[in-house]
Structure 1
């Protein structure tokens, strides 16, 4: 009996050591084994993702963001879609005349489509006027608009009612 108890102790110690290391080989009633590792670290949210989550959570009681952030540029407007089944929305992004790249991105929830403009300058060195440039950008949705409200991430204001 003593040898059986010692064997179980060694097995348990080995399993605990592997679990501490982050990987465990599990076997159940069958002959198949499954290797289980540690979960990957969660992806760090950027400014837009954090803001979109806040808008979805707190809607409609939201305030505009403070300051101007290149990842959260306010939208000048949005074109009204032809019907609720559309999967694209055209927005007008207000960005710096010095931005060499600009665009828009979205975050979708059951009730809201949160959209922001973004801009990227070639470099922060040199002179740049603070002129506002506006351009239309089409945002593709994962699912049809279907009655959801379209909200500007920077201002927190509703642009369109689905």
Structure 2
């Protein structure tokens, strides 16, 4: 009995050692085996996610971003929601007239909702007048606004207090 316990301990130790390397052959009662691939690496934060994290960390001492980035377009305004329990905000995004697609996205924390506009341009071929266009976009929130401040990611300015 003691030898059987020692054998199970060694087998469990070997399985745990293989699991930490990321490749394990799993087997059940039958003869079939399955290979389990290691988990995908975490997604690298993009420019907006890094900027939103910075704003949340440094709030209220936030400087505007330098230059104009397609992933961090400034907002013209944010419309006040009808109630503090609202789970969406309508913002006006300032984007290029040459953008074929545009929108807004948000990052939520306990005290802030950081929002940015974004644009996707036509191909580099052809002319663009580079004039500013503005359009209203509705941003859906994960949780109610409930008194949180709404901040423009590009400028770092508070647009409204929920």
TM-score by length of 1: 0.81
The question of 1:87 aligning with 2:87 is answered yes
Distance 2:14 2:138 in 1: 56
1:106 aligns with 2:106: yes
Instruction: Determine helix, strand or coil for the equivalent of 2:54.
Output: helix
Q: Secondary structure at the match of 2:90?
A: strand
In structure 1, runs of 5+ residues without a counterpart are 26-35
Distance 2:78 2:19 in 1: 52
Aligned partners of 1:72 and 1:15: how far apart in 2? 47
CA deviation after TM superposition for structure 1 residue 16, in Å: 6.7
Q: Which moved more, 1:147-156 or 1:77-86?
A: 77-86
SS at match of 2:147: coil
Give distance in 1, aligned partners of 2:11 and 2:82: 66
Task: Name the SS for the 1:49 alignment partner.
Answer: helix
Tell me the C-alpha RMSD between the 2 structures. Answer: 2.8
Structure 1, 99-108 or 13-22: larger mean CA deviation: 13-22
What pairs with 1:15-34 in structure 2 (closer than 5 Å)?
15=15, 18-19=18-19, 21-23=21-23
| Residues paired across the two proteins, number | 151
1:141 and 1:10 map into 2 onto residues whose CA distance is 50
- 2:149 matched residue in structure 1: 149
Tell me the distance in 2 between the aligned counterparts of 1:16 and 1:144.
43
Three-state SS of the structure 2 residue aligned to 1:76 is: strand
Q: How far has the Cα of 1:49 moved from its partner?
A: 0.7
4+ residue runs over 6 A deviation: none
Q: CA deviation at 1:11?
A: 4.4
Q: Secondary structure at the match of 1:107?
A: strand
Give, in whole Å, the separation in 2 of the partners of 1:38 and 1:58.
36
